[in-house]
Amino acid sequence: MQVLDVVHGFDVTDPGAWADVGPVELACLNAGVTSADESVADYRRVVGVNVDGVVLGVRRLAEVMEPGSAIVATASLAGLWPWPGDPVYTLTKHAVVGFVRAAAPGLAERGIRLNAVCPGFVDTPMVRPHEQELREAGFEIMPPSRVAEAVLAAARSEEVGQAWVVQPGRDPLQFRFPNVPGPR
**63 found inside a domain:** yes
Reported in sequence order, the residue ranges of 67-120 that DSSP labels E, i.e. its strands, are 70-74, 113-119
pLDDT at 7 over 80: no
pLDDT of residue 18: 96
Mean pLDDT of the chain: 92
Task: Answer whether 103's CB lies under 8 Å from 145's CB.
Answer: no
**132 found inside a domain:** no
Active site residues: 89
Helix (H) or strand (E) holding 147: helix 144-156
Helix (H) or strand (E) holding 98: helix 87-108
**80 found inside a domain:** yes
Q: Where residue 21 falls among pLDDT bands split at 50, 70, 90? A: very high
**1 found inside a domain:** no
**182 found inside a domain:** no
- In this prediction, residues 42-51 reach a mean pLDDT of 97
**65 found inside a domain:** yes
Task: Tell me the pLDDT tens digit for each residue of 29-38.
Answer: 999 999 989 9
Query: How many C-alpha atoms does 31 have within 13 Å on its Cβ side?
Result: 25
CA distance 139 to 141: 6
Q: Report the percent of the chain where pLDDT is more than 70.
A: 99
> Which of the residue ranges 28-32, 138-142, 163-167, 168-172 would you say has the lowest mean pLDDT?
138-142
User: Domain containing 44 — which CATH number?
Assistant: 3.40.50.720
Q: Specify the number of domains making up the chain.
A: 1
- In this prediction, residues 106-134 reach a mean pLDDT of 89
**183 found inside a domain:** no
pLDDT at 3 over 80: no
pLDDT at 95 over 90: yes
- In this prediction, residues 10-39 reach a mean pLDDT of 93
**179 found inside a domain:** no
Q: Which domain holds residue 118?
A: 6-126+140-174
